[in-house]
Structures are given as C-alpha cells and as structure tokens.
Structure 1
Amino acid sequence: MLSHFLNLEWKQYFRSSHWQKGIAIKIIMVIFALYFILTFLSIGVFGYYILKKEFPEQDPLQLVNSYLLYAILGDLIFRYLMQKLPVMNIKPMLSLPIKKSKLTHYVLGKSSVSFFNFLGLFFYIPFAVVLIREGYNTVGVLGWLFTMILLIQSANFLNFLINKNNIAFGIIAAILLSLIGLHVFDIYNVTAIGGQVFNFIYANPIYSLIGVVLLVILYSLNFKQLSGLLYLDEAVQTKVQEAKSADLSFTNRLGDIAPFIKNDIRLIWRNKRTKTVFLMSFFFLFYGLIFFTQKTYRDMPAMLMFASLFISGGFALNYGQFIPAWDSAHYKMLMSQSFKYRKFLESKWILMVVMTTVLYLLSFPYLYFGVDIFLMITAGAVFNIGFNSLFLLYAGSFNRKRIDLNKSGFGNTQGTSATQFIIIIPLMLFPMLLFWLFNKFVGYNSGFIVVAAIGIISLLLKNYAMNFIEKKYIKDKYAMINAFGKEA
C-alpha cells in the first residue's frame, strides 16, 4: 500500500501543470536548499574546532548544549510560520476499501521526512562524528544524537497540533524572547539550565528514551486528531467559515483611502501567506543581532547597513514586492469599480510606511549596541520609508503572477518571477554602496547621512513619484487583469 501511495504522489506531481511552470524558480529554490545544507554541514564538521579555538577553556559540546534550548524554541517558531502538513488527494480514497488508519499513518509518516526534519541533521550528525573522533564517549554521543533526532521529530508533530494557533505561537515566542532577554541582560543564566539537561543526557544516554515516549505521545495525538477528520462530510469538503469582523473604525480618519486600508488589513490577517509575511516581519527585528554582536562585521560597515535595512524593512520588503498580486484573486472585480487608482496605491504605501515605523520604534533596544548603530538603523528606516516604499510600488507594476493566499509561504513560488530578484539590487545594494563609498572616502557619519538623505528626498518627491507610478499601473491595467485571471 505504501508503494501505491508513493506511486500516486509521483504521478500527481509530474503530471501537474505546475511542473511545467516556473522551472527557473524551482532551480533557484533547489540552489537555496543546497546552500543551507552545505552551510549546516560545514558548521557540523568544523564547528567543534572553531569553538575549541575561540573558547579554549570551554568544552565545545557543553557550549553547544547550553544553546540548544534556544535552537529548539526557534525551530518551533520557524516551523509554525513555514511548515505545513503534507497532504495527498485523499478525497477519492475515502470511497475506496482503504483503511483510514493507513491513510493517516501515510500522511504523518510523510511529514517525518520533510526538509525541515533533515536540515538540522546536517549539523548534528557530522558534529557527533567529530565528537567521537576527538575521544568523547561513543555511547554518550550516540545517546545525545538520538535525543536530538527525537526532539526534531517531536517538534514536527507538535507543530501540527498547534498549527495556526495564534495563542500557542504567542506563548512560544514570548518564552523565547524572555529567555533571550534574561540571558542578554545578565538577569539569569538560562543557558546553564539548558546545558545541564543535555549534558546529563550525554552522561546518562539511557535517559534519551524519554524522547521516545514524548514522540509516541505526540504522534498518537496527531493520529487521533487527523483520523477524526477523514470523513467526506468533514475535512475534505469545502468549508465556509463566517468571517470575524474587527473594529477598524480608527482608519476612517484617512478619508477616501480608509476602505482600501481596511481591506488590506483584513486580507493580511485572514490569509495564511499574508499572515506569515506579517509575523515574519517582526522576526527581522532580530536580524541585527547576527551582525551587531560579531566583531567581524564591525570591520564591514556595509554589511551593518544591510542588517539595518532589514530590521525596519522586513514587512515592506516582503509584502511590497508582491503588490498588487496579493489582490490577484479579486483584481478583475476591483478594477471594475469606480475609484481613483491613486487611492489604491496610496493605501499600499501607507501600510508599508506604518509598518516600517512600528518596526523602527520596536528597534529602540538596539541603543544597547551604541548610538552609531542606532543612527544606522534610523537611516535605514528613513530610506525604507522614502525610497524603498515608492520603488516597491513601481516594481509591482511589472508583476504578472497570481497568488493563492491560502497556501503557506514556505516553498510556495506563486507570484515569484525574475522581478523579485531584480528589485533586490536597488533596494539593498544601492544604499549599501552609497554607505560604503561615503564611509570610505568622506567619513563614517556621512555614510548613513547620505542614505537618510536619499530617503528624505524621495519622501519630498512622493507626489511626483506617485503620479508616475499611477500612470504606469493604468497603462498596464488590462495586462494585469489578463495575467491575474489565469490560474497560477
């Protein structure tokens, strides 16, 4: 039966019309996957020796163990935002003499071999091999590795239990941020507790079997939940849900733009892909921690500007590059209404500006790294508000790819074209180049001053830019209607 299911999946994939579309995008996705695999593999192979060199007085294994708690919570958050339960077209199967338990086991088993579960192993397995080679207790290392494999699988099934539960997501995110805050501000040594747990498992590998119990419990809960949905009149039928209306009356002060703003807010919060973009934008706030905490990047100021742009521009960059494809499902209806196209574009611009401002205000804790760093973040925010927001609107006039908002954001190439890759050049490389040139030949302060100046000048010229952008959209109006009317 398993081979039959696999055969059906194979035929469904390669006979699908999607296989013939976007080959270039699929190749790029494969390249990205290979990049992450090689990165994790390199860290796994050389990580022990790097830690030994940088921290000669500490045990590399204990050092890794002390941060595994953060890695586990971070993995859960990443899975919540990106991973979805792999499904097969089970509706025709339910009328056949096939046990529902077999269908359930197959779907859950398929989830256990996803890319999310294999990626971490490219670090843990090579790292364990290096540990054994360096004389660590073989049984202890194998017990540690077995525990990590079980925890990865447990995270996989836990994610499906809490999938799209905003309360659960908020709790996990709050715990992670609280632990990071306690550690960064030296309030409590959280890493010591996490390290002790995994050090204990290394010293007593028999306790790795606790992970087996946890995995069995989570698998059983998923099996029970999924089995209860395998009915023709339940999960597989088209569900009609009553939309919950939020009070958006505060937008009325925006005048004629208010209806568009309301629709955009509802669209973002009610659909999987846009909600993922919205939530992910807050995680870009922590992007600076990768760069500002490393001495290496202090000598590469252009990379610091790169991080500064992402901190406040996470939403604008990820949401703005797909304008107006977010509205592709109802674009034909939208364009049949009597309204000024300028109002539609203004609403998108205001949304990006407001979110960039909110993210900038939330970035104030970066003052901890010094005024110079925060001024760079400020310059990046001004550039995002002034230049990037307008440029993203203009670049959107070239979008011709339809987007299904109900699909997850990870691995979903709908709406992606060469446009998304080309616009990265002016959005990111242009301010980085400006900063590098002025920083090198004039002075450090002049670097972020000129970047901020470009943003301010763009803001002052907004009306002229919006008039130009509006004409471009009107000119391409019917080409967009025709393109968005086609199935993705």
Structure 2
Amino acid sequence: MFKIFITLQWKSFFRSSSMGKGLLLKSLMAFFAIYMLALLVFSGGTLYFVLKKISPDASPMWTLSQYLVYWVLAEVLFRYFMQKLPVMDIKPLLLQRIKKSSIAHYILARSGVSAYNLMALFFFVPFGIVLLYQGYPPLNIITWLFSILGIVLSVNYINFLINKSEKALIVIGSIIVLFFALDYFGLLMARDFFGPIFNGLFAYPGTVFIPLLLALSAYFINFKFLRNRISLDESLKAKSTEAKTSDLAWTRKFGDMAPFLQLDLRLIWRNKRTKSQVFISLLFVFYGLIFYTQEIYAQMYPMYAFLGIFMTGIFLTNFGQFIPAWDSAYYNMMMAQNIPLRKYLESKALLISVSVVVMFFLTIPYSYFGWDVLAINFATALYNLGVNIPVILFFGSLNKKRIELDKSPFGNMQGTSATQFLIILPVLGAPILLFTGLYFLVSLEAGVIALSLLGLLGLLFRDKLTALITEQYRIKKYGMIAGFKEKNS
C-alpha cells in the first residue's frame, strides 16, 4: 500500500502544470540541503576537538551531555515554526477500499524520514565516529546514537500533537527562558541537573530503550489521533467563526480601484499568512539596529544600501512576490467577470506603494546615525517605488501555485516556486550592485543619485510599464487559472 501512495504522489508532482518550476525549485532546495548537510557533518566531526579545547579537564561527552537539554528544547521550538507536517489528498482515497490505518501509517512514516530528522543524525553520527577513533567503547557509542535517534523521533511526533497549539508554544518558550534565567542568576544550573541524565544514555547502554519507547509511544498516540480524524465527515464539518465586518468607506476615494483595495485589506486582516506578513514587516524596522550600532559596519555604505532596499521594501517582497496567488482561491471567478485587469494590478501597486512610504517614515529615526543613512534610505525607497514595484508585479504573472490562506504561516512554503528565487536578483541584487559600483568608482553621492533617478524614471513611465505588465497577465491568464485550481501544486 505504501508503494501505491508513493506512486500517486510522484505522479501528482510530475503531472502538475507547474512541474517545470517545481523541479527547478526542488533542485535549488536540494543544493542548499546538501550544503547544510555537509556543514553539519563538518561541525559534528570537529565538535569533539572544540569541546576538548573548551573544557580540557572534562570528557567531551560529559560536556555535550550538559547542553543536550537546550538542544531538545530548541529542536521542539524550531520544528514548531519550521516543520511542515506531511499531508496528502486523502479524500479520493476514502472512497476506495483502503484502510484508514494504512493512510495514517503512511503519513507518520513519511514524517519519520523527513529532512529535519536527518539534520540531527548528520551532526551526531560524525561525532560518534570521532569518539570511536578516540577509543570510546563501540557498544556505548552505538546505543547512544540510537538514543539520539529515539529523541529526534520523539520530538518529531510530539510536534504533531502541539503544532497547532499556541498554549504549547507559550509553555515551550517559557521553559527555555526559565532555564536560561536560572542558569544566568545561578539559582539552578539546568545543565548540571540534566547533564547526568543525558550522560546516562551513553554510560549505560540499557537506557537506549527509554527514548525508543518514548518515540514509539508518541507514534501510536499520533496514529490513534489520525485514524480517528480520517473521514469525509470530518472534512465536511462547517467551521463556525465570528464574522467581523468593516465597510472601509475611506477607500472609495480611489475610484475604480476601491473594490480591489477593500478586497486586499480584508484578505490581509482576516487570514493568518497575510496578517503575519504585516507584523513581520513592522518587526524588520528594527533590523537596522543590528548593523547601524556596530562599529564594524560604520561607513560600510553598500551594506547601508542593502538595509535601505530591505527595510523599505520588506512588505513589497514578502507580499508582492505572491501576487496574484493570494487570490488563487477565487482568481478564476474574478477572471470570468468583466473586471478591468489593469485596475486590479494598479490596486496592488498602490497598496505596496503605501507600505514602502510607511516603512521609509519608520526608518527616519535611523538618521541619528548620520544624514547619509537617511539619504540612502530615501533613494532606496524611491527605487522600490519606481522600479521594484513594476518588477514584482511582472514576476507575479509567472506564479501558478495555489495558496491556502487559512494554513499556518510558519514554515509554510505553499505557493513557493522558482519565481520567488529569481525575484531576488532584480529586486535586491541589481540596486545593490549598481550602488556599490558607483560608490567605489565615483562617490557615495553618485550611488544615491543613480538610485533616486531610476526610481523617478520608473514613476514617470509607470503608465506604460503597467500597460505592458497588464498585457503579460492577459497572455498568462489561462495558465495561471489552471495552476491555481491544483490544490496540491
């Protein structure tokens, strides 16, 4: 049965309308994954010598055991935000003679071989191999590695149970803060308390059954939970939510664009993923404090150009790169109506333009670090308004992947394709390279003036650029509609 499930998902991937871009995206992700795994192998292989240098009088295994409790808590927190739980389109399968238990086992088994589990093994196995060369008992090392595997799988399946619970997130975060606070003030050294426990997994090989039994228990708890939830009735239950309305009357002054602006504003406010983009953008206003306050970055103007493009255009990038996929659930309905496509795109441009202006005003306090910072942020804001907004709208015509707005925003790669990686080059790379070249070859003022002029030219020719982009959307219209219909794209 597992072979059938794998075959079905394999066919789903290759028959997708966005298969080409999906393949390119997966190739890029595979490259970065190989790089990360190689880095983990190197880190694990050198960990023994690093720990030996830090604590020459203590065993590296003992030193590592003292900090494993923080690794476990960090692993839980990391997975909560980043790990995407394995899903499959099970509704058609429920109409066939397939046991619910087989479907549940397949979902859990897929999760067991996820990249998140491999990350820990690629780190700890090289460390174990070094221990072998250093004369540590092979039996203890092997059972300890199986214990680590048991802990990793336990965390993996526990994440299934707590992933949608905000209370669990608060509890985990509070425990981490509490442990660090107790350590910092010397009230209770968490590493001294948990160190002997984790070291016991190495010193006593028989204890390997404890984490393995914990992983097995977490597996069967999830199995029972999934098996009871796999039914057509469960998916057909109506969700009752409190309706919140707002007429957004102030948008009417924008004329024909008002309906689209109202739609976008309601979409942003009512959905998790879009709402998170707003909060993330506001948080990144403080990103400059990391660099402006450091002496090492003083007078490093190319870095300032990056900060200007990034901070004033963070919403432009985060929200704009998924236009029009945000509307994918009803995009085919919109395109079937007598809706002026140009007004639709102009409303998106207006919304992003407002965000750029707001973000620029929020960065004005950084002028405390010098008027050159304010000048660069102003020039990059103009560049974002005149150049990057048309660029981001143009690349939006290449989006064919559907976005489910009610999904969790954390670790959610839905709607991501090779387009999102290609956008980085013109949006971030081009202005930074231009500014850097002019700064080193001519002067700081030349770089600022060039970005400002390009931004003004983009605003001057906005109508012509919008006409060209609108035509591109008309050409790609039916391909986008077909792609948005695929829920597993």
Q: Same fold (TM over 0.5)?
A: yes
Partner of 1:92: 93
Label 1:51 to 1:36 Cα distance change in 2 as closer, same or farther (>3 A): farther
Instruction: Supply the AA of the counterpart residue of 1:29.
Output: K
Partner of 2:317: 317
Partner of 1:405: 403
User: 1:12 and 1:395 mapped to 2: Cα distance?
Assistant: 32
User: 1:290 and 1:442 mapped to 2: Cα distance?
Assistant: 28
Answer yes or no: is the 8 Å Cα contact 2:40–2:119 preserved in 1.
no
Answer yes or no: is the 8 Å Cα contact 1:77–1:169 preserved in 2.
no
Instruction: Supply the AA of the counterpart residue of 2:109.
Output: G
Answer yes or no: is the 8 Å Cα contact 1:402–1:483 preserved in 2.
yes
Partner of 2:108: 108
Partner of 1:38: 35
Label 1:162 to 1:423 Cα distance change in 2 as closer, same or farther (>3 A): same
Label 1:91 to 1:247 Cα distance change in 2 as closer, same or farther (>3 A): same
Q: Which moved more, 1:465-474 or 1:286-295?
A: 286-295
User: 2:284 and 2:79 mapped to 1: Cα distance?
Assistant: 12
The secondary structure found in structure 2 opposite 1:402 is coil
The percentage of aligned residue pairs carrying the same residue is 26
Answer yes or no: is the 8 Å Cα contact 1:79–1:159 preserved in 2.
yes
Partner of 1:481: 477
Please, which runs of 5 or more residues in structure 1 have no aligned partner? Answer: none
Is 1:130 paired with 2:130?
Answer: yes
User: 1:394 and 1:214 mapped to 2: Cα distance?
Assistant: 51
Partner of 1:228: 228
User: 1:425 and 1:469 mapped to 2: Cα distance?
Assistant: 19
Instruction: Supply the AA of the counterpart residue of 1:423.
Output: I
Label 1:350 to 1:274 Cα distance change in 2 as closer, same or farther (>3 A): closer
Please, which runs of 5 or more residues in structure 2 have no aligned partner? Answer: none
* 1:146-161 → structure 2 map (5 Å cutoff): 146-161=146-161
User: 1:328 and 1:341 mapped to 2: Cα distance?
Assistant: 18
Partner of 1:331: 331
Answer yes or no: is the 8 Å Cα contact 1:153–1:215 preserved in 2.
yes
Partner of 2:74: 73
Q: CA deviation at 1:482?
A: 2.4
- Per-residue displacement from partner, 1:345-368 (whole Å, max 9, x unpaired)? 34444347538956995999x99x
Instruction: Supply the AA of the counterpart residue of 2:116.
Output: F
Among 466, 480, 489, the residue aligned to 1:470: 466
Task: Say how many residue pairs are matched.
Answer: 467
Q: What is the TM-score when the length of structure 1 is the normalising length?
A: 0.72
Q: CA deviation at 1:274?
A: 4.8
- Per-residue displacement from partner, 1:32-79 (whole Å, max 9, x unpaired)? 224323333333334554895799444676479648736743663455
Bigger radius of gyration among the two: 2
Q: CA deviation at 1:427?
A: 1.8
Answer yes or no: is the 8 Å Cα contact 1:124–1:145 preserved in 2.
yes
The secondary structure found in structure 2 opposite 1:433 is helix
Q: CA deviation at 1:83?
A: 0.4
Answer yes or no: is the 8 Å Cα contact 2:402–2:414 preserved in 1.
no
* 1:408-447 → structure 2 map (5 Å cutoff): 414=415, 416-417=417-418, 419-437=419-437, 440=440, 446=444
Label 1:358 to 1:439 Cα distance change in 2 as closer, same or farther (>3 A): closer
Answer yes or no: is the 8 Å Cα contact 2:292–2:369 preserved in 1.
no
Q: CA deviation at 1:479?
A: 1.9
The secondary structure found in structure 2 opposite 1:83 is coil
Answer yes or no: is the 8 Å Cα contact 1:105–1:223 preserved in 2.
yes
User: 1:356 and 1:83 mapped to 2: Cα distance?
Assistant: 34
The secondary structure found in structure 2 opposite 1:423 is helix
Of the two structures, which has the highest relative contact order with CA contacts closer than 8 Å and spacing of 6 or more?
2
The secondary structure found in structure 2 opposite 1:397 is helix
